[in-house]
Amino acid sequence: MDRSRDALKGVAKELAKDISSGMTLGLGSGSTVATLLEELSPLAMARSKVIKGVPTSTQIEIVAARCGVELVPFKGSVDLVIDGADQVDAGLNLVKGGGGALLKEKIVMGSAKSVAIVAGESKFAEKLCEAGVRVPVEVFPMARESAKLKLSMLGGVPEERLLPKGYPYFTESGNVILDTLFEPIGDPRDLEMRVKSAPGVAEVGIFTIKPITVYRLRDDGSFDSMSESD
């Protein structure tokens, strides 16, 4: 029995309480968000609520359209972002970008009135980058080598993301990804800003945006939530 699906159903019911008709949702990418959207959409429709969504990737655009979400262009702000995470630390800072959509995800998340993150129990750690989790860094192709040098100077070990046959991986924005290993991060916001300041870096997969609510999916099918404000 898939207990994680049970937990996602519970989170969907919780989120549905705060979604009113006409709200615009920022839709993050990945399998967790896709499954959550499949659970959330019928709940909204049952209450005659029309959900508008701004997708951050083609993958989630397809899922959202299938679920009956009205897809709309990004107009500078959204009411609520629903997204997943690759890792969550004790301060509810995140590593994101495993799916390669970190640039669009951070743009949309940075405009949101509220943020809801959903992650499995195994994604939580005391500090970001524990257990060998790497930080995705999205870089303009011209800057791939200079960015590698800058990341190394910041204590990172960058590795360019490749497709299975060894070809370079390109994001939907046409950039490359440097998956970068750091020692467990003591000050995520400082490192986020230092990496972002490197010439040619489009975005870094450290997310320190607040306020935020994180829903932790328990292995037994339950969930709990944690919130953090600035």
Fold that domain 3-125+208-228 belongs to in CATH: Rossmann fold (3.40.50)
Percent of the chain with pLDDT over 90: 90
Handedness of CA 38, 102, 86, 81 (dihedral sign): negative
Residue 228 to residue 230: CA distance in whole angstroms: 7
Homologous superfamily (CATH) of 130-205 is: ACT domain (3.30.70.260)
Which of 25-34, 45-54, 131-140, 154-163 bottoms out in mean pLDDT, i.e. has the lowest?
45-54
pLDDT digits (tens, 9 = 90+) for 101-114: 999 999 999 999 99
**pLDDT (average), residues 145-168:** 97
| CA–CA gap between residue 131 and residue 125 (Å, rounded) | 9
Lookup: tokens for 135: 């930080």
What pLDDT shows up at residue 1?
Answer: 44
Annotation says 121 is catalytic: no
Mean pLDDT of 55-62: 96
pLDDT at 175: 98
Domain with CATH 3.40.50.1360 in the chain: 3-125+208-228
Residue 183 backbone dihedrals phi, psi, to 5 degrees = -60, 155
Weakest-pLDDT range from 33-47, 88-102, 202-216 = 33-47
Task: Give the CA angle between residues 185, 156, 91 to the nearest 5°.
Answer: 15
Catalytic residue (one of 105, 138, 192, 203): 105
Average pLDDT over residues 34-41: 94
Give the residue carrying structure tokens 């005391």: 126
Please give the model's pTM, rounded to 2 decimal places.
0.95
Confidence of residue 200 (pLDDT cuts 50, 70, 90): very high
Query: Which of the 8 DSSP states describes residue 200?
Result: T
Compute how many other C-beta atoms are within 10 angstroms of the C-beta atom of residue 87: 24
CATH 3.30.70.260 residue ranges for the chain:
130-205
